[in-house]
Structure 1
Amino acid sequence: MKKVVILALLMVSTFSFAQETKKESKWVIGAGVNFIDNTSSGSNEYLNYSNWNATLGFSKLSLQYFYNTNLSVSSEFTINKLGKDVDQNEKAIDANLSYFGFDLNARYNVAGLMKLPSKFAVEPILGLGNAWTSGNPNQSLNTGISLGYQINETYGVRLQTLGKFAAEKNTVGNNMIQHSLELYFKL
């Protein structure tokens, strides 16, 4: 856990002191909601919404730095809950649990390669995460995709799906799919 936090701090400090070559803002901040599907591949019920977990209102905050036009790094903080009697890795848990997650992800916008207009962003994601389920830590390897649309020069909307794969198989809250919807704006 300490290694992930130290790596995150080093990457954020490196990017924050990098010299900007363009006048366009390289920083993007986002806020939105997230949904956790911790069903497990054993049940093959990835879109069974009755197993999704969500909190009411704001539950995700992100900060993204563009290294160049396509390559960026983002840090994401999410809060959620894992509900009692909802399937968690093929078992129902017996109590409501809190969930806090911090992820550090690299993104690469491939919309230009797909010949999409510049208002669109299609970003494959790869990164590392750390989550705490009722205080129990869990590290993960993250992979996913983000779809974005720039509404105007300042604001945009992003839909993201992130798979989080942990080494520890028996910890509640590991090997999950986390979906999010957020509004973002350039600083």
Structure 2
Amino acid sequence: MSGKECSIHKDRKQKAVRQLCGCILILLFLILLTILIVWAVLQPKKPRFILQDATIYNFNVSAPNIFSTTIQVTVSSHNPNRRIGVYYDRLDAFATYHNQQITYYTVIPPVYQGHKDTNLWSPFIYGNNVPIAPFNGPDLRQDQDAGAVWITVKLNGRVKWRVGSFTSGRYHLHVTCPAYIPFGNVPKNGGIVVGNAVKYQLSRSCDVSV
């Protein structure tokens, strides 16, 4: 009799475990289905960035591998979502040349971007006596002497998405803006003299990854 009771008790325990596992699987399925439906309804899109202009205050290769620059860039960010807001927790702006960083990080203060809103930032990015790779120094000087240079303005940081009262976790944001900057004859190259600097209108779309 005791053996039958043990067998019945074991069967009940296994049945309860199976039911519990089934409930967990159903709950996980419902959660994933809800997320999928919400994602499909909201149709989230990445922010769009445009490098509008660059004002050159200093751009100088003072030694074969020593570089100094001061550039003010204007970058616009547009949130294309109708139901999703964007928190920019932190953004660091800097410039690179041939994949090498040539300026320090400039911090852009945190900001919230509402639905369909556009933000405009004009940070100064600069570097004083920055050592650059031996193979980049001659190329940079050659580009400067030729009157034009390709640099890349980058913004790296973290963002959070907001839907109603819900705020997501942090996601890494990487923005890459190629910039072709002409030097030399200002009227010929389309620059605008601003005091002791020259401002160039660029209006270039940036690549954005989240």
Q: Which of these two proteins has the greater Rg computed from alpha carbons?
A: 2
TM-score w.r.t. structure 1 length? Answer: 0.34
TM-score w.r.t. structure 2 length? Answer: 0.31
Greater fraction helix = 2
